[in-house]
Amino acid sequence: MCTIICKAGERVKEDRRKERHEQICRAAYELLATHGYGGTSMLYIARAAKASNETLYRWYGDKDGLFRAMVRDNAAETRMILSDAIQAQADPRQTLERVAPIFLTMLLGERAILLNRAAAADPNGALGAAISAGGRNEIMPLFEGVMERLCQGKAVTAKQATQWFLGLLIGDLQIRRVINDASALSELQAQMRSREALEVFYRLIDGSLPAAG
């Protein structure tokens, strides 16, 4: 009986922490949009989220740690799909077809674009480093892990294949969103662009010569 009660209490505590984390992140995004990365302090975030400054430092370490967590949150669904596919040795083409529109929508979404706009305006590069640490540096190896199976017996490497795929999928859309030259894609537009990118990508991969030996 005690075990059941304890587990229930832990779940409630975890749910409350997730809720508080989202409140903190919402406050951080709002301040980031108004004041930029340099003008957004942990104290301001704590006040806006009605949290204690001590809690923020205890949970995230520092401002860079908080923003790395925010970047990881944005990429969580992509990371989960790729990680599960690698562990289960799922069909790589099915994995790419599933993850492509999700990844594209995330990259072009308001939160990711806000982070990238603020990073471009941050003179010391701290936010850019946080974005790389919390996003690119975690996601790229997972894409390469999926590509390893797809590239077996072909001349192209997993790293090359990943670069081809992401280049075809994203193109210049992200930078155009950052400079307000393009709007976010609808769900249908993201699916259509993903299908088109994958069609070209598969032709490139399937047309590559077999690896020697």
Residue for token digits 């989220």? 49
* Residue 84 pLDDT greater than 50, yes or no: yes
Q: Do domains 2-61 and 74-206 have the same CATH topology?
A: no
How confident is the model at residue 126, as a pLDDT?
A: 86
* Residue 162 pLDDT greater than 50, yes or no: yes
Let me know: does 168 contact 200? Beta carbons within 8 Å: yes
CATH architecture classification, 2-61? Orthogonal Bundle (1.10)
Choices 1.10.357.10, 2.60.120.10, 1.10.8.50, 1.10.3720.10: CATH for 74-206: 1.10.357.10
Digit-coded pLDDT (tens) for 96-126:
999 999 999 999 999 999 999 999 888 888 8
Question: What ranges make up the beta strands (E) of 99-195?
Answer: none
Angle subtended at Cα 33 by Cα 28 and Cα 36, rounded to the nearest 5 degrees: 85
pTM above 0.75, yes or no: yes
**pLDDT > 90: percent of the chain:** 74
Task: Give the residue extent of every domain in the chain.
Answer: 2-61, 74-206
Quick one: how far is CA 74 from the chain centroid?
Answer: 5
N-term to C-term CA, the chain: 63
Residue 97 exposed, middle or buried by CB count within 10 Å (0-12, 13-18, 19+): middle
